[in-house]
Amino acid sequence: MEKNLDFIDFVILCRDHEKKIGLNRKEVRAVKASRQVLLDIIRKNPRKAYYAINTGIGALLNKRIPAGKMEEFQENLIMSHACGVGPPLEEEIVRGMMLHMILNLKKGVSGIRLSTLELLIKMFNLDITPAVPAQGSLGASGDLIPQAHVSLALIGRGKVIRDGKIIDAASVFEDKRIEPAKLGAGEAIALLNGTSYMVSFMAFCSAHARILAWIAHVAAALSLVALNGNARAFASEPQAGSCHAGREASAAFLSGLLSAELWPIGNGRRKLQDAYSLRCAPRVFGSFLETLYGQVFPVVCEEINNFSGNPEIFAGEGRIEQGRDNFHGQSLAQTADSLAIALAALAGISERRIEKLLNGTSPGLPPFLTKTGGLNSGLMIAQYTAAALVAENRHLAAPASVHSISVAAGQEDFVSMGAIGARRAWQAVKNAEYVVAIELLCAVQALQFRRLARGPANRKIAPIADLVRCLLPCLSKDRILADDIESLFSLVHDNGNDFLTAVFEATGLKTPEEEV
């Protein structure tokens, strides 16, 4: 693991359980050197205060820890911080936390013992995943509470998830013949400080939002054809005066999916100007792309590889640096809020196109895309679900990063709330994926009524529609729509990369990522 990871590498390592991680020789030497310097400094300067090593934490930083109580202090620190509440996090998110903690600790700056770090790596490789409650972190001194629950399992006192059940870590360790960690001086704070909860959520948000951005373009293109929209809005000329790289890339991709003139339907004439949800799609998509590629991805990649602990031990200089701000989650907090806002817009414009597909005003499309309205409701209620998800995303888009609350008797008086923002952004990503899945459902159903022919103007759209249609038969009469929506959500959420690959193979296109 010598090279820096981007969010795609990060997510792959968390999800691919066949991939194992370990330390190289350089990292082993760095971890050992850091530990030795920590021990040497404490021994040579027994009267000097070193935060959370021989002192209390937070507002108790002036309380000294007796030398004979160091080991007891380590466990006390872990146990007292393990006060999270709420449902357990998804296993892949916890694996992301573990991976980020490992990335942090292997830098040889924290003073962790090699054996402790190797045990955390072993847990990751053996799929021994701690049960971590979802709520409690302020994103202040990093993600103290969630990381405490990971650390609690490490010392054999916590819970882990095995085969979908939450059981005692000690029983799993016994079964695997693994000795729990017995922490020494300074190891508890090394394990607790960090931004691992926020980083994990935001890495997964980034990976999914990147795929979603381009699938949303595909769904919009299907809707445009179904609504007999005017693709001239996306031609290169209207973008000539644009200074927005995202808008230009979006318009180019949409234009590539569509023809300059969409296939005419019967004798109907195309509108001079389409509704905003159609013709302004590059503006909205472009803003989303700029948020992703210009802010979210760089910040997340930086934080994946950034050291976010306190104190810092500089082995080469034989010194400890205390009281720095590595663990504060402000940049992640504001990034999570920006992503949630962008997702609210992406889902919102998708829902508006869904409504236009269903409202019965477009020539050739019956209300709610059913031939027998009344007896059958068609896709009417699917829009309700999309509208509910859009409303929820607007609520989730209210920024968390502006809501600091002072804690630790005022010692930690400005916190980022990044953990709340990151968790909400993850929910907003999934909500937006559902809305885009519903647009795919409605657009492909509408195209059935258009009797989409394979001609020069739709040679790319028709095979894309076929890719979606192969999952679902045409809706000829009412059926349980939840099943259809879940199938297409899985297409977007679980298999989005494969779907885009199939789209590119069918159309000869690729995403213009390098242009954003």
Average pLDDT over residues 222-242: 77
**What are the extents of the domains in the chain?**
7-194, 201-308+323-515
- As a CATH number, domain 201-308+323-515 is 1.20.200.10
Query: Tens of pLDDT along 86-110?
Result: 999 999 999 999 999 999 999 999 9
If one compares 271 and 330, the residue with the highest pLDDT of the two is: 330
Average pLDDT over residues 238-246: 71
What secondary structure letter does DSSP report for 325?
A: -
If one compares 146 and 273, the residue with the highest pLDDT of the two is: 146
Residue 454 has pLDDT above 50, yes or no: no
Q: What stretch of H or E contains 293?
A: none
Band (pLDDT 50/70/90 cuts) for residue 213 is very high
Residue 126 has pLDDT above 80, yes or no: yes
Q: What is the pLDDT of residue 269?
A: 56
Kindly report the pTM of this predicted structure: 0.94
Query: Tens of pLDDT along 407-453?
Result: 877 777 788 889 999 999 999 999 999 999 999 999 999 999 987 54
**Greatest pairwise CA separation for the chain in angstroms:** 91
Instruction: Tell me which of 2.60.40.10, 1.10.275.10, 3.20.20.70, 3.90.25.10 is the CATH number of domain 7-194.
Output: 1.10.275.10
Q: What is the pLDDT of residue 147?
A: 97
Q: What is the pLDDT of residue 453?
A: 47
For residue 252, CA distances in Å to 21, 175, 377, 509 come to 40, 57, 37, 11
Look up 51 and say whether it is catalytic: yes
Q: What is the pLDDT of residue 240?
A: 59
* pLDDT above 90 coverage of the chain, percent: 70
Sheet order of strands, 165-168 included: 129-130, 159-162, 165-168
Q: What stretch of H or E contains 413?
A: none
Residue 455 has pLDDT above 60, yes or no: no
On average, the pLDDT of the chain sits at: 91
CA separation for the pair 136, 195 (Å, rounded): 13
Sign of torsion over alpha carbons 200, 203, 206, 210:
negative
SS (H, E, C) 63-129: CECCHHHHHHHHHHHHHHHCCCEEEECCHHHHHHHHHHHHHHHCCCCCCCCHHHHHHHHHHHHCCCE
Least confident of 339-348, 380-389, 395-404, 504-513: 504-513
Question: Residue 463: is the preceding peptide bond cis (ω within 30°)?
Answer: no
Query: Tens of pLDDT along 456-508?
Result: 456 778 889 999 999 998 999 999 999 999 999 999 999 999 999 999 998 88
CA separation for the pair 120, 457 (Å, rounded): 56
Query: Tens of pLDDT along 55-69?
Result: 877 778 788 888 888
Band (pLDDT 50/70/90 cuts) for residue 163 is confident
CA separation for the pair 448, 371 (Å, rounded): 11
Cβ neighbours of 481 (radius 10 Å):
18
CB 218 within 8 A of CB 247: no
If one compares 381 and 142, the residue with the highest pLDDT of the two is: 381
Tell me how far the alpha carbon of residue 379 is from its chain's centroid: 30
Query: Tens of pLDDT along 2-57?
Result: 579 999 999 999 999 999 999 999 999 999 999 999 999 888 888 888 887 888 77
Q: What is the pLDDT of residue 1?
A: 54
Q: Of 51, 197, 293, 384, which residue is the catalytic one?
A: 51
